[in-house]
Structure formats: C-alpha cells, structure tokens
Chain A
Amino acid sequence: MSIRAAATPTGDGPVIEAKGLGHTYKGGHTALDGVDLALGTGLFGLLGPNGAGKSTLMRIICTLLVPSRGTVTVCGRDVTVQRREVRERIGYLPQEFGAWRHHRTEEVLDTLARLSGMSDKRQRRARVAETLEMVGLADVADRKVKKLSGGMVRRLGVAQALVHEPQVLIVDEPTVGLDPEERMRFRQVMARLGRDRTVLLSTHIVADLGGGCQEMALLDDGRIVFQGSPPELLRQAGGRVFELTADAAAAERVEADFEIVSRTASSNGVTLRGVTANGLPAAATAVESPTLEEGYLAFMAARGRSEAARQEQETLGAASAADASAA
C-alpha cells in the first residue's frame, strides 16, 4: 500500500487558516466563536466534546457552510469565494457517510473521482483500484454498497475522500462504527497521509489521534481552548493526573470527589487513576507520564468541563480498551 505525496500547497503560508471565525445558526445557537487556526502539513487533531463546534468548523472549511464571521482559507483560497478551487483541493469524509446503494463500490469511487475532475479514464481506474486496495476494499470492488458492512462503508468513505489525491484531507469523526482492527488500521493510514499533506481529523475520541498527530486543538463551546502539540497538552496536565490504591470504601469516596479515568480492582484493593483541577486526593501520587486521554481530561477538568469530556470518553472507554488489546 502506498500513499502518494499530495501536491504541495502554493506558497509558504498555512494550508488551512481561520481568522476570527464564528458561526451562529439561525436559531441563535453560536457554534463557533472567534476561532483562529493555522494548519500546515501533517495530521492535525481537532478534539472536543460533542457540540463543541467541530463539525461546524469542518463544514465551513469544506465550503459546505458559510461562516457568520471571520475568514477561512484553504491553500490560500477563500472558502466562501473560491469554492470550486477549495473543493478541488480537499477530500472530505463527513461524520455520516453513505453512498448510492445500488452502485458497486468501484463505481462509487469512479464517479466521485470523475466529479472531482479526474477525467482521464485510464488514470482514474488505476487510482480507484489503488485507493480500494489502500482501504482494504479491493476484494469487494464489485459489491454493491447496500451489501457492504458498516465498516466497509466507512472505509469507502475514506477512499472517496482520498481517491482524487487531495492536498487537504478533512475527516469528521472517522472511526465511528469501526471495529478495533479497522480503527487501528485507520489511524495508521491517517498517520501516513499526514506525512505529506494536511489532514484535519476531528474527533471526540482522544485515542483516534494516535501517534501520528503532530498538532492538535481543543475546541470547547465554539472556542479553541488549546492549540499545540500533544506533548504540550500533557505538559499542561502535569500534576493533575493522579493514581492511588485504596480499599473499596476509600476508593468510593475518591470516586465521588474526583474525575476518575480508570479503575482497576486487585487483591490489594482498588487502583484508581483520575484527574483533578485543584489538588491531589490524600494518598494519591501524581502520574509522571499520563496518557493523552488523561491529559485531555485533566485539561478539561481544569476548565470545569470534565463532565462533558468524561462522558464522551466513557462511552468509548470500552472501545479504547479493545483498541489497546488489538494494538
């Protein structure tokens, strides 16, 4: 499987740049407020709880939504003025992806490649085959979409976003519905793609960012609350992640007062790892190397948003565990 380098964006400026971006929906709900963002080549993670404004941001970048305020450029093109040029340069996998149910997998890709400007039939066919191979759908190239599993459809979504070799890849909650193996595979693909192009990956699952993520932003309530590298996020979480082992009764008390990330029962008692906004609980020790998830939760806890962040992660806790075992 190979991933070809995308064409280099014109100029030296950021590939995606948002300035003072804001969006308020008709009902008055403000989804984005004063977002400034500048992305270069590489895998960029956009993290945030549900309703934080991630999808709105992505839809604006993809030209599907006109922002209420501010500007966004992709490869130097304004997303509200030069839509066609922006669209020629992006690949987009929406949060909810489906395809023409009666078309074959290969046909879907072929059509979408044509609609992206790949007019040379021979070249297009080769690229379609290559992309299918890349996402592991080569074996079902002749199968109709309606007969694909949910995971396969998701992979087809990735394939359609990649098939025309865009400079910018925008993926919104890409791993929803994937089994652990597919999630692993997906992370690897994203990491590789991020080497030579801009990949903007929106997720509320911290684990999805994987090791390939060079930079990330935390979006909360329509604002960027953090932008930097994952180590920086972890650094900011320093001293706020703790671990303690206690008997069941004590553990219960700690669980009631702190945000707990994991709980492991053993013959020695219960081992808890959690985050705190203020001080460590009694008998707890600060964790030296917290995970990215713990860092994210600690960050959010510090903002008093631990509840929202934790719910997201809890729902996916099982999946994350499974990921770990798969890895």
Chain B
Amino acid sequence: MRFSWLLAAASAEMRTACRQTRTWLGIVLVLGFSLIVWINVNLDAPPPLPTLSSVPRFLIVEISLPLTLMLLVGIVFLAFDVRGRDQRERIADVLDARPISNLELLCGRLVSVVALAWLPLALFALLAQTLGLLVGELVPETQVEPMEWRSLAAFLLLSALPLFVLWGSFVVLLAVLFRNRLAVALIALAAIGAWFWSIGSAPAHLISVVASQSLYASDVMPRFAEAQTLIHRAALLLVAGGLLVAAAAAHVRRDDGARPRRFAIAAALLAAGCGGIAVAVLAAVADVELRRHWLAAHQAAALSDSMQGDIERLRGTVRIVPGERLAIDVDVLLRGADAESLVFSFNPGMTVEEVQIDGDADVRFRHQDGLLSVTLPARSSVEDAERIRLSLRASGIPDSRFGYLDSATDDVNPLILGTKASIFQHDYVALMPGAHWLPSRVEIGGPGRRDFFAVNLEVEVPAGWLVAGPGQRREVAARDGMRPATTRYRFHPEAPVPAVALLASRFERLAMTVADVELELLVHARHLDNVAYFADAVPELARRLDERFADAAGLGLGYPYGGLSMVETPAGLRTYGGGWRMDTVQSLPGILLLDERSLPSARLQRHFQDPEQYADRDQDAAAAKVDALEHYFESDFTGGNPFQGVSRNFLPFQTGAVGEGMAAVALEFVVGELVNLLLTDRGGYFSAYVFSTGFGSDKNRWLLTSAVEGLSPGASVAALDAVANRPSVWDRALGTSLAKLDPQRDPSQALNVLSFKGRAVARSILDALGRQRTAALLAELRRHHVGGHFDWHDFNAAAQRIGVNLAALVGDWLHDEALPGFLASPATLVRLTDGPHGRPRYQTRLHIRNGEGTPGLLRLGYALDKRDVRRGNRRNSDPIRIDGHAAVEVGLVTAQPPIELWVQPYLSLNRRDVRLALPAVDAAGRHAGEPLAGVVPSAWRPRRDDAIVVDDLDPGFSVERDSAENGLRLGGLGLRGLGTVFLLPADMDQGLPEYSDFATTAQGTWTRQELPLSWGRYRHTVARAAAGDGLERAVFAAELPATGRWRLGYHMPPPPPSERESGFAFVQGDYDLRLEVGAGRRVRTVEFDAAAAAVGWNDLGAFDLPAGSVRLLVSNGTAGDLVLADAIRWRAENVTGLMAGDFPRPAQGP
C-alpha cells in the first residue's frame, strides 16, 4: 500500500467534504453542542445532585455517547456516496484508470471521513482544555476547569476513533455494494440505531463492551485504558479493516488484487476482529459466570452444616503494598463452636498461607471459590469449647469481582454506582467489607444476621499514605519488624463493629474534634476547592456538629467509635451492596464514603453564589453556607447521604434485629429510621434499583417529578415521594404486612414499600413518643443489645421498660397489614372574642373519625397566609391519635383565619394528606365561649345520606371499551402527552393508569388522578380521560333497591390546582352520557354540559326506574378537552318500600 496515494485520496475526499455545506453544518452542530454543554456545565449552576450532577472534570464520560452518536450520523452522510459521487461527477472512469488500488482509494476516503468526524472532537477538547486552564487560572472563582485529561484522551483515541473507523468502514462497504445513497444512508442509520438500542438493552456487564465507552472518569484513580480495553478496540479496528478490504474486493472497479484473496483477507480480518470482540464479551460473560459459580458455592455453603463463624473479636495486622500485595495476619475469635468445620467467605484473590486453630497449625483447610473451609481439630484439643481462635495468614490482591454475589440485579446493575467490589491499585486501596478481604460470614439472600465484634487491627501503609478504618486511627510508633518507608496505624474502637473497611491513599486530611469525636475529611489533593470555599464556615460547622453529637450523647446515644472519617472514593468503586435490597455501603463503621463525583468535586461555590438565598436573612454567611451544605447532603439519594449514614453508627452498627423473614429487616429499618429522624430530623431514600440500567424509568420518574415539583426540601425526599410513594407501591403495601413482605417478588417494589411504610411508622412512633422517650427507647435497646441482636419482643420490651405501650400507641405495625382510614366533618371557622392585648383569635373546629379498626395517628396541617402556601410550609398540630372506629373533635386557635386546612395521616388508607374545605369567616362576628385548642372525644359519624353514591374508587366503577373496536389504537398522545418522549410507563392506581403529565397513555385513555377536593371516602381521586374516540367508557354501576323515581347527580370536582394556577385549564364541553337500565341494558341518553356545570353535585334529572341494576356510562368522547368521572349519586324522590340498610355506606364529600 502506497501511503502517498492513500493520502492523495484522503486529501481529495477531505477537500470535497470541506466544500460542502452539510459538512460544516455538522461540524458546527457538534462543536456547538459540545461547547455549549461544556460552558453550561462550567458556568451554569444546576441544582447539585451528588453523583448525578455534571462535573466539568468528568464531563466527557457523560457526553461521550451522544457526541459519538451525532458524529456517527455525520459519518453516514459523509461516506454514503463515496462511490456514487464519482459517477455523478463523471470522474469515476478517470479515477479508475489511475494506478491507485481500490484499498488505497477507499482507505484514503475513510481516513478523510474519520478525520472530518474526529477533528471537531479534537478541536472541542483543545478548546475546552485551553479555556478551562486559562479561565480557571485567571478567574479561579468561576470554578471553570479543564476535563480530566486521561478520560478525555481515552475517549478521543480509544472510543471515538475506533468507532468512527468501524462505522465509517461499514458505510463505505454499503456505499460500494449499493449504488443508491438513500438506501445506504437508511441501512447505515438503522444499523447505528440498532447499535444504540443495544447499548440500552445490553446486560450491565456488557455495556462498556457494546458501547465501547469508558464508564468512569476519575481524578482519584485516573486511567487511560486497561489491557482489555486496548484488546477490544484493536478488535474493532480489525473488523473495520475486514469491512474495508471486503469493500475493496467488492468494488466494481478491478485492480490487481485478486478478489478471492481479498475476500479471504477480509474474512480473516473480520474473524480476527470478531474473535477479539468475542474475547472481550466472553471475558465479561466469564466474569458473570464466575460470580455465579461463586454464588452457587456460597449457597451450598450457607446450607451446609459447617459453622458460620460468629465472630466475637478480630485482631492482627494488615500490610498494604498498594497494587502489589495485601498481607493479613489476623486472629479471629469465634463463638459457639459446635460444628466439625468452619466456613467463611474469603476473597479468592488472596492466598491462604497458614491457618491455625487455637495455636494448632495442624489444621486441614481449603480455600476455593471464595470459601475458606477449616476442619476443626478433635474436641479434646480445643481448650474452650465455647470459643475458637482462628489464626489466619494470607496474602494476595483481592479480586475486585468478588463481592455482593447475591445481588438482585446482576444484568441491570446500576453502573453509575460503581462496579468494583474492592480496589487494590498503586494509587488507591479500598478494602470493602463486601469484598470479604477478611474472613467473614457467608451471606446469601440479602441482609441477614450480622456479627458484631471487637476489632484491634494494625494497618501498615506506605509512608505518606493515610488509611481510614473503623473508628479513630492512631499512629503506631516505629519498632522492630516494621518495614522501611511505611507507617503503621492502629484501629481499636471501644464499640463493636459489624464490618471492617480500610480505605487508603495519599489523601489530604482536614480534621476537627467536636464533642470528643475526631472528624476528618480525607480527599484527593485536586479536590480542595470546596474545602477552601467552606473555610470560613468551619467554626459554624463545628458548632452545629458539636451540637448534634452532644445532643446524641445527651440522649444516651453517644457516638461509639471516637473518630469518623469521610473518605473520598474513586468513581468505579461499587457503593451498593448485595441481596434483594442492595443497600448503600457508603456508610461503614466509623467511615463515610464520599464518591468523588459528589462533594469533592461538587460545584457548590458556583451553585451557592448567593448563600443568603438559602438562609434566613438574619444569619451570617457562614451559617448560610452550612445550610447550603446541609441542603446538598440532604439531596443525596445515591446512598451517600451523610445524615442517614452517620446515624447508622449510633445504633444499627451496634446491634442488629433478628426475626422471621422480613420482620428483622423491617424492624431494623424502622429502628434505623427512628435514629435518623431523632438525631438529624431528616428523611432520605436510597434504592439502587432507581439507577439500574433496566429501571431507568424510575430515575426518570424522579427526575421529572422533582423538576416539576422542585427539589425542596431535598432531592432525597423528593425521590422517596416520586418513586416509593406512588399508587402501585400503595397497592402492594396494602396487601401485606411489613413482616410478610416478600422481597423476592419484585424486590424494587418491596424496597419501596419498606422505605415509605417503614419511614411513616418511624415518624409516627417518634411523634407519638416525643424525642426524649424515643431516645430513651433507642438507648435502652442499645444498652441491652450492644454487640448482639434484638427481636420484635425485645423492641417492645425495651419500650415497656421505659413505660411505653407501643402496641397500644401505634398498633402492630410490623405484622398487621390493616391501616386506619380517616373521615372528616366539614370544618367550622369563627372569630372568637379577641385575646389579651386585643389580638384576634380564630377558632377552627372539625371532627375526625377513624373508619377502620386499626388505631392511627394524624396531624392537622394549616396555612395562615399565601406565602406559606406558596412555599409549601404548613403549620402542624401535635400528633392526634384516634382509636379504631372512634372519633375526636379537634380545635385550632389561630391569630389569623387559616386559608388551607389539611388532615395529614402518617399512614392510612387516605394515602395522602386530605385537604378540607374551609368556610368563609364572618370577620365582624365575635363568638364568646370556651375555645377548643386540642382534641376531645367525639361521637361524630359521617351524615347518612339517603342516596346511593358511586365513587370512582368504588367496586361499582369500571372502565369498558366497545369490544368491536378493540384493537390496536394509534391515537395521538395529546398535548400533554408530549411528555411521552421521556417514555415513563404509567403507574397503575387501583386498576387505572395513574394520571401523569409524563405518562405514556394513549389519547382518550381513562386515568386516575388524586384531586384533593374530588369526591371520595378516604382517597379523593377522579377518573379522567382526554377527549377520545368515544368508545372507552367509565361505568358507574349501582343496584337500585326499589322501583320509583330516582334523581341522578353527577359530581364535578374543581379543576386541578396546577391547571388553575398555570392557566392551562382544559376546556369542558358536552359529555356523552348513557344510562343503561336493567339486565336488558335499556339505553337512555342523558344530557350534560360540563362547561356549564358547577363544582359539586349537578342534577342530571329524575328517572323512573325499576329496582335492579342501573349503569351510567361516561364515554371519552366530548366536544371539550377532557372528561371527568368523579362520582354519581342516586337519590330517591318518589320511591316506596325503601328500608334502612339500603344505603349502607355513608357518603363522604370532598
């Protein structure tokens, strides 16, 4: 091959392309897009969301795929007529008569096409890096920074280039095979589309192979490429070579190369390339298979008679030679040795050098498949039959694939949360408990019984390295036997730990001591911007932390480990665990992990440019900054929320719950939430499923909801509300108790049920008991069970010991699936005689009845002015407890008349807060008499109405579609259906799709929407359908008890508030109503003009009807925009023979 000819062809092609408008249009688009994204990320201040926010340093990983896709489309339009253009321009013969070979010609053209696609990227990289460096250097407060260069270089050279060459070759081959360039473009675009689709559909372990992109960029552990990546990309180039040679062979022009030989070479190259790709795929598959193999071995071990080590104490030394060798020499003291052998999970990357039992080295052991099995010596040689001392010496490099073997989602792992169970590299070491780098309990099936043990470890690291471990780190004085250029630290906390993690690197350290707890921040040297930014807020931060730790200690829940390290971790480290729950592992005893994409690189300075907007005006800037920091942390729903994380140290790391099935999990969850609420007063939510590649819709659900509803009071809570507190979760929750929840059936939903129901239970316990008594309960639990376990009875017993009957207070929340349900009377609002100093007083009173047998808690929420309403700030009453089938009267005395009033159950069949209508107040009138400010028993019952009411949630409600018209509907999606581009599947709400602006429901489909002032018993919902084909009907069916004249009412709720406020209210028109009477379905048409209807009951007329079934059908056909079906009412007008009990259900208005 003559290079000069190839270059000649390339330059001619380049010249041709460069003089075409479409080329420049493409270049400008790509360059513009990437620069705008880069500038936006650098200069804009989006709400900081840990791990999900765009960090300029790591931007290229986020935009690499869309950029690649855009440029591949560009390549199609550059290369789709490489042959046809010659013929159109009538230069084909002249070129063909040139001595250049087909391969040289096509290769040259490919070079040009690839260069044209790649150069804009390179230009973007150059511009972005130059600007980043210059602006960052000259105007540091802008926080503009260049991208991490290794990830950038990896994208340019190892992702973009091979992909461009591959796809370019493919298009060239198509262009040679097909003369019609439109056909070439369509086939190529379809293939690219299929490739892009396959990225989204591929199993998690194959995504990086299919996408040919790096998944992570890192400052902490920057990498250009691993050997596997290089092999894979070389394989792509071989395939590209094969395609190109095939194109040269198939070219209509003949040259000296023999076609059969060319095809043979092409086949060989394709085979070699595909072989290389297959090697990469098989390697990834083999990793999965290996994990499955390990899992099977662990499952077998979990069922064996071997003793699962109940570890009591762990002591010894750990030597870390980063990237080269981990050596452990530990003694493990085990309890309850009544088996013939022991079995541990132990990382297969480690080589066991020696095992001793109680000092006896003559022990048979086997380390295979990540299981360390030790045959115990004869009983006579065991000094203490109750305890065994296992001494273990092992070394090696922990296998980063080993860990969390029983994860529920191996195929759809949340890649964003990391893939490596452990890291042992020359620049960073993360020895996570889940990687079992120490012998530990064989865990299968999710969180099970945990050991709580004392730890005393000496850890040796290279000089200059710092290591975070369980609790406070003490440097050990140099002594004989220590290797040169190393430092030793001891970790010996007083309190027990359930796991040991070590994280080491050349960290920068910042520390403070508050309430006798040493807090340290270990971060990468590059990530000190935020440290500098918050420097002036350190005293305020210290004050608040001191307050919290001291408060915890005062409540009897002192911090147990003496020290707490917040450690930065690289992006690839897996931060979620295994089992069905896949809980976060970012919180470890004495350690909080900080993903480098969160706080360390967060652009808080930019986001909180005006700290005052996040704080009350009377605060100083430092306090505002700390507020901002708290807000940031609170928004973390990727598992790194430090409020939740730190609070685990106070109790969940000290003792664990045991019990049958989910009872232990739920009990431990509620206790954990109680600690969190008590100490931090903050909620939170983490579900790895949200980030799983196959569960993208949940993340979208959260992103969209939070975008619509705003992020206050924190994205984590918004996530809980958007993902966990939704109809399908409620439907699941209502069918089972927490203890009976089956995590194997749709584990993500099980976790959602646990999250929102458990949190509601915890909140109700806390509010029912108050802070002091809750703290006393938890302290009592810790005192009695530290280092051990507790069950449901222990929990209630602890409550009994502090004088609380929890069962009476909140019922059996663990085992009982029943929930309370609240009905409220219309509220009254009057002005009282003025109070002292002439201050006005207003009395609001109402009755609330618990319509179910389970006791429940609620609060009244109210707003006194529009500012509160706007901000979503409600004032709350104290918790109100109502026994089953009992009622109370509640009174509020306020200085202003409330403008909004809500019944706010903690956990009830009402599901959500219920808004109550408030009457207008007579400002002139003054009511004397004793005001009611609190709760008194009441005998109130909802008024019995001699009418039959069918609500959209009643069994009499259903949706039918004309059978003749059943079939594929390709109806439009409507204006609001524009959101379907986000492809959110509609959630199901008691048999109907939940109404959502972003749901994928076809035009005219009946959906269900929560509407506070709609008709309902516990829940207030309305069925709604955008104007459709008139064939899908909402049906209100009722059984009339007697023949006679019945008056039909149709309830119309007020329009949804969002539509009222946005001015985007739908236009109402005539409804298509039909009355079907009797078994023969005699039909009568009913007139109803919704545009003229009033809010509330609307009279549809009186009908002489026989006893028996009657159905009102509401079709989705209307002259307006939508149809609402809330409730209907049949009221007897001239009916004889009615008896008590004919109207069994009390009606309940809005």
**Inside 8 A of B93's CB, which chain A residues have their CB?**
59, 62, 64, 92, 94, 96-97
Indicate the member of A62, A81, A84, A92 with the most B CB atoms within 10 Å: A84
B12 touches A111 (CB 8 A): yes
Within the complex, which residue of B5, B89, B255 is in contact with A98, where a contact is CB–CB below 8 Å? Answer: B89
Q: Is A103 an interface residue (CB 8 A)?
A: yes
Chain B residues, Cβ within 8 Å of A100: 12, 15-16, 89, 91
B563-603 with Cβ < 8 A to chain A: none
Chain A residues whose C-beta falls within 8 Å of the C-beta of B8 in the assembled complex: 111, 114-115
Contact A119 B4 (CB under 8 A): yes
Is B213 interfacial (CB-CB < 8 Å)?
no
- The smallest C-beta distance from B104 to any residue of chain A, in angstroms, reads 9
Q: Which of A86-102 contact B (CB under 8 A)?
A: 87-88, 90, 92-94, 96-102
Bound Cα distance from A84 to B257, whole angstroms: 10
Stretch of B95-103, B315-323, B993-1001, B1072-1080 with 4 or more beta carbons under 8 angstroms from chain A: B95-103
Please measure, in the bound complex, the distance between the C-alpha atom of A107 and the C-alpha atom of B19, giving whole angstroms: 13
> Quick one: which of B5, B91, B96, B255 contacts A114, CB cutoff 8 A?
B5
Judge whether A62 and B89 touch: CB under 8 Å: no
Separation of A64 and B102 alpha carbons in the complex (Å): 13
Say how far A165's CB is from chain B's closest CB, in angstroms.
14
Say whether A92 contacts B97, CB under 8 Å. Answer: yes
Which residues B1-38 have CB closer than 8 A to chain A? 2, 4-5, 7-9, 11-12, 15-16, 19-20
Q: How far is the CB of B255 from chain A (nearest CB, A)?
A: 6
Among B5, B20, B93, B255, residue most surrounded by chain A Cβ atoms (within 10 Å): B93
Asked if B94 is at the interface of the complex by the 8 Å CB criterion, the answer is yes
Whether the pair A103, B16 counts as a contact (CB closer than 8 A) is yes
| A117 at interface by CB-CB < 8 Å | yes
Q: Tell me if A160 counts as interface (CB < 8 A to partner B).
A: yes
Residues from chain A with Cβ under 8 Å of B866 in the complex: none
Beyond A84-B256, A98-B89, is A160–B94 a contact (Cβ under 8 Å)? Answer: yes
A158-170: contact bitstring with B at CB < 8 Å (1 yes, 0 no)? 0011000000000
Q: Does A198 contact B (CB under 8 A)?
A: no
CA distance A130 to B256 in the complex (A): 31
A98-B256 Cα distance, complex, nearest whole Å: 25
Kindly provide the distance from the CB of A170 to the nearest chain B CB, expressed in whole angstroms. 8
Give the most central of B5, B89, B93, B97: most A CB within 10 Å. Answer: B97
Q: Are A102 and B254 in contact (CB under 8 A)?
A: no
Q: CB within 8 A of B100: which of A85, A93, A115?
A: A115
Q: Which residues of B contact A64 (CB under 8 A)?
A: 93, 96-97, 253
Within 8 A of A (CB), among B84-123: 89-91, 93-101
- Min CB distance B37 to A, Å, is 32
CB distance A97 to B98 under 8 Å?
no
Q: For A138, what are the chain B residues with a Cβ–Cβ distance below 8 Å?
A: none
A294 to chain B, nearest CB (A): 33
B261 to chain A: closest CB distance in Å?
A: 14
Complex formed: what's the CA distance from A85 to B91 in Å? 21
Cβ–Cβ < 8 Å partners of A81 in chain B: 256
Partner of B16, one of A82, A102, A115, A157: A102
A102 touches B97 (CB 8 A): no
Is A73 engaged at the interface, CB distance under 8 Å to the other chain?
no
A96 / chain B contacts, CB cutoff of 8 Å: 90, 93
* CB pair B97 A107 closer than 8 Å: no
CB pair B11 A111 closer than 8 Å: yes
> With A82-B256, A84-B255, A103-B15 given, is the CB distance from A115 to B98 under 8 Å?
yes
Shortest Cβ distance from B929 into chain A, in angstroms?
A: 94
How far is A245 from B256 in the complex, measured between Cα atoms in Å?
Answer: 61
- Measured in the bound complex, the distance between the Cα atoms of B96 and A97 in whole Å is 12
A280 contacts chain B at the CB level, 8 A cutoff: no
Q: How near does chain A come to B247, taking the closest CB pair, in angstroms? A: 18
List A102-123 residues whose CB lies under 8 Å from chain B.
Answer: 102-103, 107, 111-112, 114-117, 119
Taking CB as reference atom, which chain B residue is nearest A111? B12
> Please, how many angstroms separate the alpha-carbon atoms of A59 and B5 in the complex?
23
| Contact, CB under 8 Å: A99 / B97 | no
Write the nearest CB–CB distance from A95 to chain B, whole angstroms: 9
Within the complex, the shortest CB–CB distance from B852 to chain A, in Å, comes to 80
State whether the Cβ of A313 lies closer than 8 Å to any Cβ in chain B.
no
A56 to B: closest C-beta gap in Å? 13
A131 → chain B closest CB, angstroms: 14
Q: Are A103 and B94 in contact (CB under 8 A)?
A: no
Distance between Cα atoms of A304 and B100 in the complex (Å): 45
Interface hits, A206-249 → B, CB 8 Å: none
- CB contacts (< 8 Å) of B9 on chain A: these are 115
Cβ contact within 8 Å between B98 and A116? yes
Q: Answer yes or no: A148 CB below 8 A from chain B CBs.
A: no
A63 at the interface (CB under 8 A from B): yes
**Chain B residues with Cβ under 8 A from A66's Cβ?**
254
Which of chain A's residues has its CB closest to B93's CB?
Answer: A94
**Which one of A82, A97, A107, A114 lies within 8 Å of B94 (CB-CB)?**
A97
Interface residues of B in 236-260 (CB under 8 A from A): 253-256
CB-CB under 8 A from A157, the residues of chain B are 94
- Contact between A87 and B15, CB atoms less than 8 A apart: no
Which residues of A have CB within 8 Å of B15? 100, 102-103, 107, 111
Instruction: Map CB proximity to B onto A30-43 as digits: 1 under 8 Å, 0 otherwise.
Output: 00000000000000
- Provided the pairs A99-B91, A100-B16, A101-B89 are in contact, do residues A87 and B254 lie with their beta carbons within 8 angstroms? no
CA distance A186 to B635 in the complex (A): 82
Chain B residues within an 8 Å CB radius of A94: 90, 93-94
Nearest B residue (CB) for A157 = B94
Q: Whole-angstrom distance from the CB of A113 to the nearest CB of chain B?
A: 9
Complex Cα–Cα for A237 and B101 (A)? 47
A87 engages B99 (CB within 8 Å): yes
Contact B12 A98 (CB under 8 A): no
Q: Which of B294-314 contact A (CB under 8 A)?
A: none
Which residue from B2, B16, B20, B97 sits with its C-beta under 8 Å from A87?
A: B97
Which residue on B lies nearest to A113, using beta carbons? B8
Residues of A within 8 A of B19 (CB): 102-103
Q: Are A117 and B94 in contact (CB under 8 A)?
A: no
Q: Is A69 an interface residue (CB 8 A)?
A: no
Question: Is the beta-carbon distance between B256 and A83 smaller than 8 angstroms?
Answer: yes
Chain B residue nearest to A117 (CB atoms) is: B99
Q: Which residue of B lies closest to A170 (CB)?
A: B97
Most buried by A among B2, B5, B94, B254: B94
Which B residues lie within 8 Å of A63 (CB)?
96-97, 254
Closest-by-CB residue of A relative to B4 is A119
| Shortest Cβ gap from B16 to chain A (Å) | 5
B728 to chain A, nearest CB (A): 59
Nearest-neighbour CB distance to chain B for A84, whole angstroms, equals: 5
Query: Is A116 within 8 A of B99, CB to CB?
Result: yes
Are the CB atoms of B89 and A115 closer together than 8 Å?
no
- B residues in contact with A97, CB < 8 Å: 90-91, 93-94
Residue of B nearest to A166 (CB): B97
B97–A90 CB distance below 8 A: yes
Give the one of B15, B90, B99, B254 with max A CB within 10 A: B99
Across the two chains, which residue of chain B brings its CB closest to A114?
B8
B11 to chain A: closest residue by CB: A111
B91 proximity list for chain A (CB < 8 A): 97-100
Complex formed: what's the CA distance from A96 to B256 in Å? 25
Closest 3 pairs (CB-CB, A-B)? A98-B90, A114-B8, A102-B19
Name 17 interchain pairs, CB-CB below 8 A, sorted by A.
A62-B97, A64-B96, A87-B97, A87-B99, A90-B97, A92-B93, A98-B90, A98-B91, A99-B90, A99-B94, A100-B89, A102-B15, A102-B19, A111-B11, A112-B95, A157-B94, A160-B94
Inter-chain pairs besides A94-B90, A117-B99, 13 sampled, C-beta below 8 Å: A82-B256, A87-B99, A88-B99, A92-B93, A97-B93, A97-B94, A98-B90, A98-B91, A111-B11, A114-B7, A115-B95, A157-B94, A160-B94
